[in-house]
Homo-oligomer: A and B are copies of this chain.
Amino acid sequence: MAQNMMLYWGSGSPPCWRVMIALEEKKLQGYKHKLLSFDKKEHQSAEVKALNPRAQLPTFKHGDLIVNESFAACLYLESALKSQGTRLIPDDPAEQALVYQRMFETNNLQQKMYDVAFYKWHVPEGEQQESALKRNKENLVTELKLWDGYLEKMGKGSYLAGKNFTMADVVCFPIIAFFPRLHCPKEQCSRLMEYYEMVKDRPSIKASWPPHWLENPVGPDTLKNL
């Protein structure tokens, strides 16, 4: 089945990374893939646009099916291959509710991290304002406290939605990995950093680690002054 899959991806893109973790967890090693360069604008190539009118990565194809939104691709893989590899959405309603809840709360953490870490890339130079960046930082600190509180409540050694690695971890880990890389002070998210240390060597995550992070393990310090 994996031979029938094709992923266009960019190194370090959290949406790409989460689809790659899902592919690894579902034992789909051997899927076809093409690493594209955002810097060279390769994601805007005709090849990608033919499959993805947004010209974004990931762009994912399984046979004739195209699923480009990362959450959609992850849910599709779990549903299509429920009994293969890691079970990422549990059957138990209480467990399932928490997995979905943390999955979609990830959008908050992602947006707030982007609003600080990539502020200077996403906001045109003439529109950048110190007051906005300051507020973004405060919002991110509040968000981090929330996640630290979740982990604190779940107890040591817990994954994001309980005792098992689930889809919540698949979609959120690629965001969490930016905090140590971009020099976020540990005290702003000590529980999340314990979680990061626990999960970072998991085979699915190691196998999909962004190649340019391997080449340059230390990232810019955009989260240093949080």
Report which A residues bind B (CB closer than 8 A).
Answer: 53-54, 62, 64-73, 75-76, 79-80, 93-94, 96-97, 100-101, 103-105, 107-108, 124, 126-127, 129, 131-132, 146, 149
Contact = CB atoms under 8 A, between A and B. Distances in A.
Contacts of A62: 97
Copies in the complex: 2
Contacts of A149: 53
A126 B132 CA distance: 10
Given A127-B131, A127-B132, A132-B127, A72 B97 contact: yes
Listed residue (A70, A72, A73, A76) with the most chain B CB atoms within 10 angstroms of its CB: A72
Given A107-B107, A129-B127, A149-B53, A96 B68 contact: no
5 contacts: A54-B146, A64-B94, A72-B101, A73-B100, A80-B96
Given A69-B105, A126-B131, A127-B129, 19 more contacts: A53-B149, A54-B146, A65-B93, A65-B94, A66-B101, A67-B97, A67-B101, A68-B101, A70-B104, A71-B100, A71-B104, A72-B103, A72-B104, A73-B100, A79-B93, A79-B96, A80-B93, A107-B107, A127-B132
